[in-house]
A and B are shown apart, each in its own frame.
Chain A
Amino acid sequence: MSHEIMKKIYLVEDDYNLRELICYLLTDHDYEVEAFANATSFKERISGLDIDPDLILMDIMLPDGNGVELCRAIKADDKTSSIPVILMSAHADPSITQNSGAIDFIAKPFDVDQFYSRLNKYLN
């Protein structure tokens, strides 16, 4: 698949193997990925200048933070509030994302086809 301009996705996932899989899945579909292993590094990045993600894909349970709260912070900040956020969790209860401002929720483990279709829905 090719895109005229590569869409850029920020991925926040603390599990190394899963982070690797998702990076593969995204780059395989010609998305540009910037991955973060924890909340701290992500927060640092997002608070800086020169941020240009088209979407943020974020795990909820992080060792040093909570994806739901991070999402709320993103949505509260004018600089980042327009960036769509998709939350992911192994707790297959989408209710935890209520009032977080997230655009969607992907339950782990996910079906790869469904994973792509969700992303496409918000990026094209």
Chain B
Amino acid sequence: MKSKPGDHPVTKDANNQEAALAAHPFEQFPVAVFTCDKEGKLDYANTRFRALWKNPPQKADKNFLEEFIEFNPTQATSQITATSPLKLSLDQQIPLENRKIILKTSNHPVFLISSQLIYEEDNSFSGASFSLVPLPDAQDDGINQAILSAIVESSDDAIISKDLQGYITSWNKGAERIFKYSEEEVIGKHITMLIPDTRQADESLILETIKKGERVDHFETIRLDKKAQEIPLSISVSPIKNSRGEIIGASKVARDISDRYKSEERQARLSAIVESSDDAIISKDFNGMITSWNLGACKVFGYKEKEVLGKHITILIPEERLKEEELIISKIRKGERIQHFETYRCTKDSKKIPVSLSISPIKDSHGNIIGASKIVRNIQARKDAEDRIMTYSKKLEILNSIGMDISQNLDVESVLQKVTDAATKISGAEFGAFFYNTENEAGESMMLYTLSGAPKEAFEDLGMPRHTEIFKPTFANHKVIRSADITTDKRYGKNAPYLGMPSGHLPLVSYMAVPVISKSGTSIGGLIFGHTKKGVFTLEHEITVKNIASQAAIALDNSRLFERVKALNEKKDEFIALASHELKTPLTTVKGYLQVLEKRIEEPMSKLFLGKSLNQVNKLNTLVEDLLNMSRIEAGKLEFRYEAFDLKDMLQEISETFVYSTGQHELITDLGDTKVMVKADAPRIEQAVLNLLSNAIKYSPLAENVYLKLAMEGGKAIVSVRDEGIGLTPYQQKQVFSRFYRAESTKGINGLGLGLYLTKQIIDAHKGELSVKSEVGKGSEFSFSLPILD
């Protein structure tokens, strides 16, 4: 479009340049203006234009247009043509209208350039005037555009544009890489080809947003690649506007976030684990300030996250354990871990709980330790379980020891003391007592028998409890009473004169009374436990003590029976002692008179008869003596007086003085030539030998010889008495040393069955050994050993 000269306030005054310049109508124009001749030589530049340059272009510079101005580089720089479009417009005499240019100044400002052709008065073309209107920064300049294009192409992100109908209009290399489609495959196709069925709704939403001129930022979704693989993407979509500002499409930047997705997933999983953990997971920095706090930590410590973040870790540490923290920090600083460290920590309500700590250093990306992560496990339950096991095994131990004592011990008092002690220990009572249910004439009294945890004097002055409202159920009705606080029991304090515990009574709050019931169903008594604190006794205690009580009942039944038997036995021994004494007195008289008579009578037959009578008196005395000795042994009253003597001497004497009751036997001795010194009770050893000799004779009625032998064997003296008599069966050999045992085959042979029993007791008391070798019909050999003196 050619402009008419009159329309333009442009004049030409080449001859008076200086003046013209100053007077040029454009000189103070607010817009940069310059004029060129038709060759493109700079003719005039106004102040504003010149100000754009450090070294303003010189007038008549004919390369000015090429060297100073770059033409509208909307595409890549490579597209700048060799011939400047400004020059071209001059050559072709076509004015420019709002074309973008970049000035080759240091900061590459962008202008919109317009030109007007200048004609001479003869209408000949003489040049053009150019006005430059600066473009605001917000609008991209050419170079940025170029850079952007380059970025778009080189971006790892998919950058796609689409029209408002959703048809793809551009597709960069990144899109090719992510979606595996080439540009040709997708241009003109609908964007929904990339969208999974389940997310088709996304697209209409995005389009709605775009149509409103709004952006969609970092919208995370899933798209499909060519192989229909799902790709997690973060999408940002911006509207594309034409020059009139109308929205004509959308540009879409899609970033593949599968890596991030994966690590996020891991992170999420980790944090889910951290959050769902029952353990407290806490991190702290080097100053000990808490930097994270999971749900488990809330549960374990009772603090909410916001209550502790930024607080010092020592709020969780009991005062006496503050030193631990120093130790932990010093280990963490060295990069060491701490595993399963068992200690105590404080909860919000100042409760101490047993915990197991595992602490690891936290390192930054350079490997520097910046803090510590701490896993805290509440091991209360475990501790409780351990304690329970401990308690159980202790109880078991106590119960076992009770069982042992009961089975080994038949003494009522010591059994009851053990039972009382054990039950007191197990029930956790401060004191426990066993009361015997001994009825007086009024039929209502219990006797304190054993006491544990308090001195007996504590009850001595109080008198015995009676069948009060509190006691009666246990002692009369076989009922357990267990009370957390007996003083609040409705049965308490009902009985005069004390109306409760008498003054001076041990203060008792927790109370438990368990009856001890005999097999026969009668109440033997009751175990009563007390504690000065409330609520000490549990159902578990009750059950355990009931078990003990039933064991105790059995033990007491046994003990009572045993005591009765023992009493009878003692009576019997007492009787034997008395009887033998009583027997001996007339025997003494008989023997005395017979001996007096024997001396006075000369007539041979009478003398013989008297001798026989005396013999029988002596025998009778021996029997009585045996009985007496046996009762002494049973009563543990047989005493021994040890003295050193020569056993060979003694046996020699016995063999010489032994009076044969039959006269048919000959005693054959083999006693050796050397002395055999022993330390023993000589009369009792003599009694033992005589017992064996008289037995040998008694049980070999058809034999002629009995043998007495002394030998040394293994540092011991062995005395053997052998007969050739009726002998003993193996069973009889086992029984032969029992009290009152007489072999069946010995009927018709007199004796009490005490001789061998007493002999064995005597030899045992000397730490010797009495044994028998025997064969039925061939005879027996009884031997005893005695330790010899060196």
Contact = CB atoms under 8 A, between A and B. Distances in A.
Interface residues of B, number: 23
B641 interface: yes
B628 A91 contact: yes
B592 A21 contact: yes
A17 B586 contact: yes
Interface string A104-124: 000011111101000000000
A90 B585 CA distance: 7
Interface in A25-77: 25, 28, 61
B581 A90 contact: yes
A18 interface: yes
A95 interface: yes
A54 B577 CA distance: 33
Nearest to A28: B596
Contacts of A61: 581
Interface string B547-572: 00000000000000000000000000
B584 A21 contact: no
Decide if the interface of chain A is mainly helix, strand, loop or mixed: helix
A18 B584 CA distance: 11
B588 A109 contact: yes
Contacts of A20: 589
Interface in B739-787: none
A110 B625 contact: no
Contacts of B599: 112
Contact of B591 (A91, A92, A95, A109): A109
A93 interface: yes
Contact of A112 (B592, B625, B632): B592
A18 B593 CA distance: 10
B588 A110 contact: yes
Contact of A18 (B589, B595, B628, B632): B589
A113 B599 CA distance: 10
Contact of A93 (B589, B596, B639): B639
B588 A108 contact: yes
Given A25-B596, A109-B617, A90 B580 contact: yes
Which of A20, A92, A109, A112 has most B Cβ within 10 Å?
Answer: A109
A109 B596 contact: no
B621 A109 contact: yes
A17 B589 contact: yes
Nearest to B581: A90
A108 B591 CA distance: 10
A71 to B, nearest CB: 19
Interface in A11-27: 15, 17-18, 20-22, 24-25
Contacts of A22: 592
A95 B683 CA distance: 13
Contact of A25 (B585, B592, B632, B639): B592
Contacts of A24: 596
B187 interface: no
A92 B586 CA distance: 15
Contacts of B591: 109-112
Contacts of B587: 108-109
A92 B632 CA distance: 11
A110 B593 CA distance: 11
A20 B581 CA distance: 18
Interface in B327-348: none
Interface string B19-39: 000000000000000000000
Nearest to A113: B595
Interface string B579-609: 0110011111111110110010000000000
B584 A109 contact: yes
A7 to B, nearest CB: 20
A109 to B, nearest CB: 4
Contacts of B577: 91
Contact of A108 (B584, B595, B596, B639): B584
Which of B589, B625, B641 has most A Cβ within 10 Å?
Answer: B589
Given A90-B580, A109-B592, A110-B592, A95 B585 contact: no
A15 B590 CA distance: 13
A22 B585 CA distance: 12
Contacts of A17: 586, 589
B32 to A, nearest CB: 150
Nearest to A13: B585
Given A24-B596, A61-B581, A18 B625 contact: no
A49 B625 CA distance: 41
Contact of B641 (A90, A95, A109, A110): A95
Nearest to A106: B588
Interface string B509-523: 000000000000000
A90 B595 contact: no
A61 B590 CA distance: 19
Contacts of A112: 591-592, 595-596, 599
B649 to A, nearest CB: 22
Interface in B600-656: 617, 621, 625, 628, 632, 639, 641
Contact of B585 (A28, A93, A108, A113): A108
Contacts of A90: 580-581, 584-585, 588
Which of A91, A95, A115 has most B Cβ within 10 Å?
Answer: A91
Nearest to B586: A17
B585 A18 contact: yes
B625 A21 contact: no
A24 B596 CA distance: 10
Contacts of A92: 625, 628
A115 B363 CA distance: 112
Nearest to B577: A91
B338 to A, nearest CB: 76
Contacts of A113: 595
Interface of A: 15, 17-18, 20-22, 24-25, 28, 61, 90-93, 95, 108-113, 115
Given A21-B589, A95-B639, A109-B588, 14 more contacts: A17-B586, A18-B585, A18-B588, A24-B596, A25-B592, A90-B588, A108-B584, A108-B587, A108-B588, A109-B590, A110-B588, A110-B592, A111-B595, A113-B595
15 contacts: A15-B586, A15-B589, A17-B586, A18-B589, A20-B589, A21-B588, A21-B589, A21-B596, A24-B596, A61-B581, A90-B581, A95-B641, A109-B590, A110-B588, A112-B595
Ranked 10 nearest A-B pairs via Cβ: A90-B584, A109-B588, A112-B595, A108-B588, A109-B591, A21-B592, A17-B589, A90-B581, A109-B587, A18-B589
